[in-house]
Amino acid sequence: MEKYQRIKEIGRGSYGVVYKALNTENDELVAVKKMINRKYHSSKECMNLREVKECTLFDRMRHRTDPYSETEIRNLCFQIFQGLAYMHGTGGYFHRDLKPENLLVSKDVIKIADLGQAREINGEPPYTHYVSTRRYRAPEVLLHALEHDSSVDMWAMGAIMVELFTLRPLFQGSSTTDVIHKICSVIGSPTDTTWSLFNYRFPEFPGVDLSSLLPSASPEAINLISTLLSWSPCARPTAKEALEHPFFYGCSHIPHPQFERVTLSPMIRNRALPVRVRSRI
């Protein structure tokens, strides 16, 4: 704990206090939970806490040697889309920072975490430009559009799905210009029909067939990813529409998803408000 410098308290519960802190070794901002009102007699007892057992999807992918099977990807993404459908619909918010680091995994259950960048669907723009890690940002966010909506979460899901198949980020770049270049090289440069937000000189690329990048993916998976990674925000499916895509045929919708607030683990970043949705597959 010596390497963590507490900045301020960001949450308090019955059994602990959560602090925003700085890892002085790498300047990473983290959340640190200090347990109170309960004694722990061993490190094993602490490690059995549910929030400590959870890790991020990023951690899982980093330690895998083989890509996920399509069945595993279907199970994970089905749960995430259910959470997003609730968040975008009944919840009235969009996340704006979806990435593997903000998805918590425990066994076969995945949860949406860290709503620090979330905004109301009907909120007043302009929104902050810096949202999400660059490789998961939708083009309109990369190019600083004054307005954006829940479709940015759907773009991020397209990038995440590809990463689950390959264990490599699809649009990894060193700058905004580099990421735009990567996007054009994969999905092709936009046309007047697919891009009408504002003028920008895009590099000219025809794009590639996604099936050549994802040889193990089914035609249904390729089709869903292709629509999620659409230049036009309006062309991307909503989370509810994604759940109805043939890729998820055979998955069971849960009539009343159970959402719960989960306390932060020591290494989960600012303000995680995980959404837990179980899938019966």
pLDDT means over runs of 10, the chain (281 residues): 80 70 82 69 59 79 90 95 92 89 89 84 59 83 84 96 96 91 94 83 92 95 97 95 93 52 36 36 32
| Candidate list 27, 59, 66, 97, residue with the active-site label | 97
- Domains of the chain, by residue range, sit at 4-48, 58-248
174: exposed, middle or buried (C-beta count within 10 Å: 0-12, 13-18, 19+)?
Answer: exposed
Active site residue 153: no
Structure tokens at 141: 């966010």
Same CATH topology for 4-48 and 58-248: the answer is: no
pLDDT at 271: 36
pLDDT at 260: 41
Question: Roughly how many angstroms between the first and final C-alpha of the chain, as a whole number?
Answer: 41
Question: How far apart (Å, rounded) are the C-alpha atoms in residues 193 and 175?
Answer: 26
Residue 105: count of CB within 10 angstroms of its CB: 19
pLDDT at 145: 79
pLDDT at 268: 33
Structure tokens at 18: 């959560």
pLDDT at 74: 96
CATH number, domain 58-248: 1.10.510.10
Residue 35: count of CB within 10 angstroms of its CB: 12
Question: How far apart (Å, rounded) are the C-alpha atoms in residues 259 and 274?
Answer: 8
Domain 4-48, what fold? Phosphorylase Kinase; domain 1 (3.30.200)
pLDDT at 167: 95
